[in-house]
Amino acid sequence: MSRGWCIGGREFKEHVRQEARERGAELDRRRFEGLKMEALRVEREAYWEETLQQAATMAKIDLDDLPQAKSAVEKCLLASVMKHRTSVTNGWLTKRLGMGQAASASQFSRRWMLEERRAKEVYRIIEKLR
């Protein structure tokens, strides 16, 4: 099927994606093809949330217990991973992580990546993301 295969609940969509992955399909490139604007927004946000959850797990960060500081180490690491791995918007990322203004995600990520040790950690996590 080329269009409309994403019709269904979140669990169903993940089940279909998992079956396709097991057969060797590369879905990330084609995940959003044929979707209408509202469905596209919902699907993109679901993809960002899945990726954020995976990155947090790999970094051993509890997303339900993030520090209050807008520039907390955990938030900056996750923002950097997301900005370098996905097309996440600053607005979604700062709202999800509690980082303040929308532009903060880009600024915190840029500053984070200036330190080589931190950049290596970001790339290590990105390599492990599916």
The model's pLDDT over 4-62, given as tens digits with 9 standing for 90+, comes to: 455 667 777 777 767 766 665 555 555 555 556 777 788 889 999 999 999 999 999 99
Is the pTM for the entire model greater than 0.85?
no
Tens digits of per-residue pLDDT, 71-90? 999 999 999 999 999 999 99
70: Cα separation from own chain's centroid? 18
Question: In angstroms, rounded to a whole number, what is the distance separating the alpha carbons of residues 88 and 79?
Answer: 9
pLDDT value, residue 76: 96
pLDDT value, residue 19: 73
Question: In angstroms, rounded to a whole number, what is the distance separating the alpha carbons of residues 7 and 23?
Answer: 20
Cα 113 to Cα 5, 19, 46, 94, 123: the distances in Å are 38, 36, 26, 17, 10
Give the helix/strand (H/E) hosting 90: helix 90-97
